[in-house]
Every structure is written in C-alpha cells, then in structure tokens.
C-alpha cells in the first residue's frame, strides 16, 4: 500500500541528500505547486538542477543513476526543451519527479521557485536575473484550438463514409479533447489557471452533451456522436471571440450539412 503521508517532503529530502554529494551540480530549486506551497498528496515534484556548464553532458549521462539513488524507478521519460533537459521518473510509490537539468548558458526562469540547495552562494540573485516574462494571449490559444477542428471533423466524416470505424473513433476522441480544452480556455481568467471540477466551470447542457459522445464502436452511434459534436461546437461558439464566431460557425454548419448529405441517419 502506498504511503501518501508527506511523501513529497520525504522524497525531496532524499533528493537533496543525493544532490549535495554531486560536486558538479551547483544548485537545486523546486518550481510549481511545491515551490508555491499549494501542493497536495498527489502533486508531482518539479525541480531544476543547475549543472556546471563544462560538465553538463557528463552529469546528464548519469541521470538515471542519480534518480535511482532516491528510490526504485517504475517508469521514465525524457524531453529536451530550450532551457533544460527533463528526465521524468515515476517512483515505485507512484510519485512523479521531473528532474530538469540546466546550466547558466540555457537557463531561464518563468515560474514560482524555491531554492533548496545553493552551492554558489548567490543562486537567488542569479535566478532573479534569469526571469523571463512570457506573455500568453488566451484568445490566441482559442484560435489555435479552432484551426484544427474543421480538419478533424472532415476527416471523421470521410472515415465514417468509408466505414473505417477505428480511424473515425480516433478523430472523435481528438474532437472530444479539443472541446474540453476549449471549455478550459473559455472559462479560465488567465492562462494556465488550474480549474477545479469540470462540472463547476462548464454549462450543464454542454456537460450532458459531451457525455452523449461516449459510445459503442458502431457506425450509427459514431454518426450520432458526431452530430452531437457539431451541436456542442455551435453552442460553444457563442462564447468565442467576436472576430472568429462567424467564420467558425459557418465552417461547422457547412461540415454538418455535408455530413448529413453523405452519411444520412
């Protein structure tokens, strides 16, 4: 049985003990919920490790060994970003820890942070100078979501007409995920706000219609689900930025009429 009691704090202390013994890691800080202090028993640990630039590649090759000194690994993944190389792990206690390896040459800071280890003596000042303010336009993010919806719908229509059920269902899943992201973007007051229960922020009619898209893998059920997607999108369009409503609604209505023409119920 997984012990949830203070597992973030206990794991973080193990990590600090390991990192202190690695000479070429110059500092460590947490970001996100752990840095802000609003984490709970299920929160990930997101942290940065500042590595001596000359030893960066050498230290990164030992990333798995470093993580294994903290606990038994269940799974790992890697992502390379502009400001770090991320080595993510899930430990056997089902806690995710994202180790972001960085150096002064690529480092930038754009989130709340809390310094845990400072071998340089001035890490707070360094991080303050590396702060980058990212301006995110919520309306632009809505437009990004909207751009691909007509293409996904058209693909689904054609796959259904061919009786290719698996590809059609895959497109339905994609559309459902885009709808959920749209609901988030239309209801968030600022970018990256963590919203609570879906039922609390979405109109009840939209929530009910979305549930109607969970179906069996049959042509008529997929067809009915697609029509429900059209209805949801037309309803959501009423809340969208003025400059995109007309164009988006026209594309959805045209595709809906096209689908009814080639795949009648």
Give the best-scoring range by mean pLDDT among 60-74, 166-180, 183-197. 60-74
3-class DSSP assignment, residue 34:
helix
Q: 27 and 124 in contact (C-beta within 8 Å)?
A: no
Residue 25: pLDDT band (50, 70, 90) is very high
| Higher per-residue pLDDT: 18 or 124 | 18
Q: Dihedral sign for Cα 163, 250, 148, 210, please.
A: negative
238 has a pLDDT exceeding 90: no
3-class DSSP assignment, residue 85:
strand
Residue 261: pLDDT band (50, 70, 90) is confident
State the Cα–Cα distance between residues 81 and 52, nearest whole angstrom. Answer: 18
66 has a pLDDT exceeding 50: yes
Q: What is the mean pLDDT of residues 166-186?
A: 87
Q: 104 and 126 in contact (C-beta within 8 Å)?
A: yes
Q: What is the mean pLDDT of residues 161-179?
A: 90
Query: With pLDDT > 90 as the criterion, what percentage of the chain qualifies?
Result: 41
Identify the pLDDT of residue 248: 84
Q: Dihedral sign for Cα 36, 80, 182, 159, please.
A: negative
Nearest to 230 by CA among 203, 217, 249: 249
Identify the pLDDT of residue 177: 87
First vs last Cα of the chain: how many Å apart? 50
Domains of the chain with bracketed CATH:
4-130 (3.30.460.10), 138-262 (1.20.120.330)
Report the 10 Å Cβ neighbour count for 128.
11
- Give the up-direction half-sphere exposure of residue 165: CA atoms within 13 A in the CB hemisphere: 8
Identify the pLDDT of residue 138: 67
Task: Report if pTM > 0.85.
Answer: no
3-class DSSP assignment, residue 115:
strand
| Higher per-residue pLDDT: 51 or 138 | 51
Residue 202: pLDDT band (50, 70, 90) is low
198 has a pLDDT exceeding 80: no
193 has a pLDDT exceeding 60: no
- Residues shown for the chain: 265
| Higher per-residue pLDDT: 77 or 201 | 77
Q: 105 and 27 in contact (C-beta within 8 Å)?
A: no
State the Cα–Cα distance between residues 22 and 58, nearest whole angstrom. Answer: 12
246 has a pLDDT exceeding 80: no
Identify the pLDDT of residue 108: 85
What is the DSSP-derived secondary structure letter of residue 54?
G
How many helices and strands (H and E) does the chain possess? 11, 6
The whole-chain average pLDDT of the chain stands at: 85
Walk across the sheet containing 45-51 and list its strands: 73-80, 85-91, 96-102, 45-51, 25-31, 113-118
What is the H or E stretch that residue 25 is in? strand 25-31
Q: What is the mean pLDDT of residues 80-99?
A: 94
215 has a pLDDT exceeding 80: no
């Amino acid at each position: 049985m997984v012990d949830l009691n203070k597992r973030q704090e206990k794991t973080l202390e193990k990590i600090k003990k390991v990192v202190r013994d690695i000479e070429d890691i110059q500092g460590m800080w947490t970001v996100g919920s752990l840095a802000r202090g609003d984490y709970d028993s299920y929160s990930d640990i997101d942290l940065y490790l500042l590595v001596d630039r000359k030893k960066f590649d050498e230290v990164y090759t030992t990333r798995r060994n470093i993580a294994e000194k903290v606990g038994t690994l269940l799974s790992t993944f890697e992502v390379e970003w502009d400001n770090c190389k991320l080595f993510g792990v899930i430990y056997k206690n089902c806690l995710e820890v994202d180790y972001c390896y960085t150096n002064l040459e690529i480092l930038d800071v754009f989130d709340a942070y809390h310094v845990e280890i400072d071998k340089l003596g001035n890490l707070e000042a360094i991080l303050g100078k590396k702060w980058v303010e990212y301006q995110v336009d919520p309306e632009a993010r809505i437009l990004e979501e909207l751009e691909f919806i007509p293409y996904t719908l058209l693909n689904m229509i054609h796959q259904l007409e061919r009786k290719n059920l698996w590809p059609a269902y895959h497109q339905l899943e994609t559309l459902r995920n885009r709808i959920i992201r749209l609901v988030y973007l239309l209801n968030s007051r600022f970018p990256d706000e963590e919203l609570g229960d879906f039922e609390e922020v979405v109109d009840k009619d939209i929530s009910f219609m979305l549930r109607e898209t969970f179906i069996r893998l049959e042509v008529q059920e997929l067809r009915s689900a697609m029509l429900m997607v059209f209805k949801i999108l037309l309803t959501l369009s009423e809340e969208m930025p003025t400059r995109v409503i007309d164009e988006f609604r026209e594309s959805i209505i045209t595709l809906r009429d096209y689908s009814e023409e080639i795949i009648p119920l």
